[in-house]
């Protein structure tokens, strides 16, 4: 991995962890506000739970891209596909 791709990966990881931290803070505020206001947690569209679900889905997609479908995965899949395409030469 060269310097530019490593720098880009670190930048993406930093953005992801910031988003995850903000998600935790906002989720904590919404859930504790709901808990103290009603005495129990209820999930409704207007209390922010729906927004947290959508935000959580986006964070999950971003995490999959960063940690599972990274450059190493892409390289190994590319090598496997290239091996499949090779034909044996019969002399």
Residue 62 lies in a domain: yes
Does residue 78 lie within any of the structural domains? yes
pTM score of the predicted model? 0.68
Look at residue 8 and tell me if it is in a domain: no
Q: What is the pLDDT of residue 17?
A: 95
- What domain range includes position 77? 14-83
Confidence tier at 32 by pLDDT (50, 70, 90): confident
d(CA 82, CA 85): 5
How far is Cα 23 from Cα 13, in angstroms, rounded to an integer?
Answer: 15
How many distinct structural domains can be found in the chain? 1
Residue range 37-84, pLDDT digits in tens = 766 666 555 566 788 889 999 999 999 988 888 878 788 888 887 887
In a domain, 70, yes or no: yes
- Does 89 reside within a domain? no
36: pLDDT strictly greater than 60: yes
Q: Residue 40 falls within a domain, yes or no?
A: yes
Cα–Cα distances in angstroms (integers) from residue 32 to residues 18, 21, 25, 29, 37, in the given order: 21, 16, 11, 5, 8
């Amino acid at each position: 991995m060269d310097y530019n791709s490593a720098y880009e990966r670190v930048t993406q990881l930093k953005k992801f962890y910031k988003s995850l931290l903000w998600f935790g803070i906002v989720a904590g505020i919404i859930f504790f506000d709901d808990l103290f206001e009603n005495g129990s947690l209820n999930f409704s569209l207007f209390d922010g739970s729906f927004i947290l679900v959508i935000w959580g889905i986006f964070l999950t997609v971003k995490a999959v891209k960063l940690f599972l479908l990274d450059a190493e995965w892409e390289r190994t899949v590319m090598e496997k596909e290239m091996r499949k395409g090779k034909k044996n030469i019969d002399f």
